[in-house]
Structure 1
Amino acid sequence: MSLYLCVDCGGSKTSVVICDQAGNIVGRALGGPSNFAYLSLQDFRTAVSLTISDALKTCTSPPSIDLVPLPPTGDTPFAAAWFGVSGIDSPAAVAEVTPTLSVLLGLPVGPRLSVANDTHLLAAPVRMHPDISHAVGVIGGTGGIAVSFKEIEVGFDQLGRVGGWGWILGDEGGGFHVGREAVRQIVQETDSASVRAAPPAESILTKRILERFGLTSVLDILVAIHMPDPSPSGLTPQTLPQFSMVREKRLSSLAPLVFQSALEDADPLALRVLRSTSTTFASQIAILLGESDKETPNLVKAQDAVISFGGSLVGVEAYRKMILDALAEKGHIFRYVEFVDDAAATGAKGLAASFAAKKD
């Protein structure tokens, strides 16, 4: 068999997808957490090995009920493999884990075995567009980050990154940013109304957020937001769910209310929030973009690249469009736009396509 393997190793799950030479998915499986930063090398190997073995079982027709041994007892079934591993952020970490994966799959260290951070999987669509070699991966979920890449013979070379600093320092474009901006704008409207004769305009979003916290006054939101993180020993059955959350989640959990109010009810306040957060996110992404020169050799020209989105918020088409429109206003129009809702599948298909192109 000539199989192409992609493994997306995350903090909550391991996702494995196997493709044949034509890019058809022939096997897949989900396993337990495999964030390399949280596990020993042996525990990481075990989590990955079990999930790949489960995926291999589904490659036969009918699917096998027997465990597929790894390392392979004979020739490896894999033509190439690509691992996107959360918790791997340095060359030293890559060097630590690569030999273990090489032995596990029976693949030599080199161009047939690529190991990198999981954000690199968002660069996979480059391999489906032979006329480009650059990608900008944009993750917008609870947090936000953008990373630029150039395809090289052995995987992808990371050029630049912006964001991904965590909720205290940033995470622009993500759920925390959306929730925080919603509360900021609600409170700001109330502040402005304090010097006017008329109260703030009615807002569906404001009503929903007050209901979420069980409040009737806007300014009481400040107490709800700044209340210290809960102590497990202090929680009771009567504790409202929103106050059993840590402060970060109190804000990021408001994002669905903002999207509902903006996109289903056309609430003006909610729409302003999304325009604000998408514009800020676009400004951050734009740091990676432009004509490269001696002083800025790692800039990527949008017209010669694909922008690849991943994450729950940017999975909403209307929000993606807001980000793309804000980038276009800055002169950055990408040749291709992709949304990756299954990073392991996209990675496996892209890997098969890249090796097919090399054979041609």
Structure 2
Amino acid sequence: MSLLLAIDGGNSKTQVLVCDDTGAVLGHALGPGSNHQTAGGLGIAMDRLNTLVAQARDNAGLSSADRIALAAVYLAGADLPVELTMLADAVTAAGWADKSLVDNDTLALLRAGTPDPDAVAVVCGAGINCVGRAADGRTVRFPALGTITGDWGGGDDLGPIALWHASRAEDGRGPATALTGAIAGHFGLRSATAVAAAAHLDPGIGARLGELAPVLFATSRAGDPVARSIVVRQGEEVALLAIAALRRLELVASPATVVLGGGVLRGRDPLLHDTIRDRLADATPLAEITVVTDPPVVGAALLGLDALGTTPGAAGRLRTWSTA
């Protein structure tokens, strides 16, 4: 029996599984995000990962003598080739397994969402990213470095833009919006401007602006036009990423799967998903959308099982764990 270590290291949380080659999950650990770009550097990210790997091994009942054949490690922040090399070297040096696979966490989402060879995946959680593949082996990626590479979306953008609109409504530069009261209420302050001042003065408050994404969606569902316009913009950005990937793969006129995942998309907000569906239907009418409900670490584990050459039954058993 071979053992597999699967890791999904996201912006906000990290999940680690220890499995065997039949797809049985033996141990699990959950902890904070391990994106080296946002965690405070590679050293802190690796410390978090080492702690979680040790916890997962302990939960699996492994001794120090028990070797793991393969580590399938999929991390947010593995965006540029130089970062991928840096992370792969760090994982190898950590000695978690005899061999390792290291890549961007969006690939784990893609595998969790579909085995189809012609497919793209868009993740929208704290940030936003996209990858795609074609049956002939071609792949597409995006740098996903934020505003400087043309990206917009995810909680880290939705929260601040909601506060931007709320602040402008209060000082008269923008239309009135229910976001003003909703945002002030979320932080227990008297106004949206007070929230902005608190975020400016206190990095702890500033780091919490992503919490406003659910507030934004709730305000949108209540019918607020400003909030709805932000949600529509987010849907358009998700669709644009998918369409661009399909176009680069020359799949816009072919059947293909569009996998959606991440906290913003898993919520299945009706306006958000209607916008995505409509934009995709206009540009790539044969594409089919699927929303991933399995934890992304399942995709990492599936990629590991693929590399180990296991049977289809192993994948089914693994998915049974994810829905238990």
Change (3 A) 1:214 1:302: farther
Equivalent residue letter for 1:115 = V
**For residue 287 of structure 1, what is the aligned residue in structure 2?**
244
**For residue 121 of structure 2, what is the aligned residue in structure 1?**
137
**For residue 19 of structure 1, what is the aligned residue in structure 2?**
19
Residue identity (%): 22
Q: Which runs of 5+ in 1 are unaligned?
A: 194-199, 216-220, 233-242, 291-295
Equivalent residue letter for 1:279 = E
Following superposition, the deviation at residue 328 of structure 1 comes to: 1.6
For 1:143 and 1:192, the matched residues in 2 are separated by 26
Question: Which residue of 239, 255, 265 maps to 1:314?
Answer: 265
**For residue 112 of structure 2, what is the aligned residue in structure 1?**
125
Change (3 A) 1:301 1:322: same
**For residue 173 of structure 1, what is the aligned residue in structure 2?**
153
For 1:219-230, list aligned pairs within 5 A.
Answer: 230=200
Please give the per-residue CA displacement for 1:150-183, whole angstroms capped at 9, x wherever unaligned.
589xxx97513275414x8864232354452685
**For residue 205 of structure 2, what is the aligned residue in structure 1?**
245
For 2:246 and 2:151, the matched residues in 1 are separated by 19
**For residue 255 of structure 1, what is the aligned residue in structure 2?**
213
Bigger Cα Rg? 1
Retained in 2: the 8 A contact 1:162–1:287?
Answer: no
Equivalent residue letter for 2:233 = S
Question: Which residue of 348, 351, 357 maps to 2:304?
Answer: 351
Query: Please, what TM-score do these two structures have when normalized by structure 2?
Result: 0.71
Retained in 1: the 8 A contact 2:20–2:26?
Answer: yes
For 1:138-157, list aligned pairs within 5 A.
Answer: 138-149=122-133
SS in 2 for 1:84: strand
For 1:262-341, list aligned pairs within 5 A.
Answer: 262-263=220-221, 265-290=222-247, 296=248, 298-301=249-252, 303-318=254-269, 319-340=272-293
- Cα RMSD of the aligned pairs, angstroms, is 4.2
For 1:45 and 1:174, the matched residues in 2 are separated by 24
Retained in 1: the 8 A contact 2:260–2:289?
Answer: no
Question: Which residue of 123, 140, 146 maps to 1:159?
Answer: 140
Equivalent residue letter for 2:21 = Q
Please give the per-residue CA displacement for 1:187-235, whole angstroms capped at 9, x wherever unaligned.
5897698xxxxxx7xx6545534656624xxxxx6x6687596345xxx
Please give the per-residue CA displacement for 1:106-143, whole angstroms capped at 9, x wherever unaligned.
424xxxx31112333222236x52xx224322222233
Retained in 1: the 8 A contact 2:280–2:287?
Answer: no
Following superposition, the deviation at residue 269 of structure 1 comes to: 4.6
Equivalent residue letter for 1:30 = L
**For residue 214 of structure 1, what is the aligned residue in structure 2?**
190
Equivalent residue letter for 2:59 = T
Query: Please, what TM-score do these two structures have when normalized by structure 1?
Result: 0.65
For 1:14 and 1:23, the matched residues in 2 are separated by 20
Question: Number of paired residues?
Answer: 303
Change (3 A) 1:21 1:338: farther
Retained in 2: the 8 A contact 1:8–1:16?
Answer: yes
**For residue 83 of structure 1, what is the aligned residue in structure 2?**
73
Q: Report which of the two has the higher share of helix.
A: 2
SS in 1 for 2:6: strand
**For residue 4 of structure 1, what is the aligned residue in structure 2?**
4
Following superposition, the deviation at residue 331 of structure 1 comes to: 2.7
Please give the per-residue CA displacement for 1:267-318, whole angstroms capped at 9, x wherever unaligned.
455334322331244234322222xxxxx5x454485433232322112112
Change (3 A) 1:327 1:7: same
SS in 2 for 1:351: helix
For 1:12 and 1:177, the matched residues in 2 are separated by 14
Retained in 1: the 8 A contact 2:166–2:180?
Answer: no
Following superposition, the deviation at residue 82 of structure 1 comes to: 1.1
Change (3 A) 1:304 1:21: farther
SS in 1 for 2:200: coil
Equivalent residue letter for 1:278 = G
Following superposition, the deviation at residue 348 of structure 1 comes to: 0.8
For 2:230 and 2:155, the matched residues in 1 are separated by 12
Retained in 2: the 8 A contact 1:138–1:145?
Answer: yes
Equivalent residue letter for 1:26 = L
Q: Which runs of 5+ in 2 are unaligned?
A: 314-324
Following superposition, the deviation at residue 337 of structure 1 comes to: 1.1
